[in-house]
A and B are shown apart, each in its own frame.
Chain A
Amino acid sequence: MSTDTPSADDGAAPSRAELEARVAELEAHVAELDAATDEDDGPPKMSIIATKGTLDMAYPPLILASTAAAFGYEVTVFHTFWGLDILHEERSKDLKLSAVGNPNMPLPNLLGALPGMDRLTTRMMEKRIADNDTATVEELLGTGLDMGVEFQACQMTIDLMGYDEADFYDGVTTGVGAATAIQDMAEADIQLLV
């Protein structure tokens, strides 16, 4: 049942004292909320999950991490599965670009599947990166580390891929798992899966 016309016998209007008490109550509540907001006034946070290890997909997490650090963000990048290769001292220097699976590639998938084609597309990309003075994966990683980005290597996938903790760049955090990633994401203002 509803009525748009307030009826006169809807009950007595609250007294002035009741209203004052209610205002005081609300003011106290607002003050509490303000105090709570001030407490977590620390730096903003970003959490990235990096799962890919191809040459093209290594760039987005590294570029966003170092840029966010420049914006004053506390950044963690959790590397898992092929994303570990970005942190792997040897493998990071030899990341490949796949010749198949990308319809924007200048050659048909059928040709891309031929032996040696991945090497060819990778060389082409590496040349473009050099010609364009784009930073290398290693440079971006070094810059990120300098800026205090925490690069984490997922322990379960280190073991799964048969890597050793010593294979990773100095400054990379090992011995972390999904719970660490969840905690970082829960506290972060920006969360990305790459």
Chain B
Amino acid sequence: MEDYEITETLDVTGQNCPMPVVKTKQAVDELDAGAVLEVLATDPGSVSDLGGWAETTDGVELLDQDADEADGRYTHYVRKTE
């Protein structure tokens, strides 16, 4: 895993589909290229949804996902690449 510094944090805890993906996209749009967004979520679907979104969408890269199922916390790290 490469090192990266978190530029911004987006808190979408308590929010459900489609909001984690939609708000992540809106937050990424506000960032500069190279910035890394940390997304805090509680929606278990956000793991698959954000992964699929990052894979399909140009200009973003999913760096890491951290699923703490016991606590119901899902953290995602997305880099804006362009």
Contact = CB atoms under 8 A, between A and B. Distances in A.
A66 B22 contact: yes
Interface in B21-71: 21-22, 24-26, 53, 56-58
Interface residues of A, number: 15
Interface of B: 14-19, 21-22, 24-26, 53, 56-58
A70 B15 contact: no
Residue from B15, B16, B19, B58 with most neighbouring chain A CB atoms (10 Å): B19
Contacts of B58: 72
B14 A70 contact: no
Nearest to B24: A70
B22 A67 contact: yes
B14 A63 contact: no
12 contacts: A66-B22, A67-B22, A70-B25, A70-B26, A71-B56, A71-B57, A135-B16, A135-B18, A143-B19, A143-B22, A146-B26, A147-B22
Contacts of B56: 71
B74 to A, nearest CB: 15
Contacts of B21: 67, 70
A134 interface: yes
A72 B57 contact: yes
Given A70-B26, A72-B57, A72-B58, 18 more contacts: A63-B17, A63-B18, A66-B18, A69-B22, A69-B25, A70-B25, A70-B53, A70-B57, A71-B57, A134-B16, A135-B16, A135-B18, A140-B18, A143-B19, A143-B22, A146-B26, A147-B22, A147-B26
Contact of B18 (A70, A72, A133): A70
A5 interface: no
Contacts of A143: 19, 22
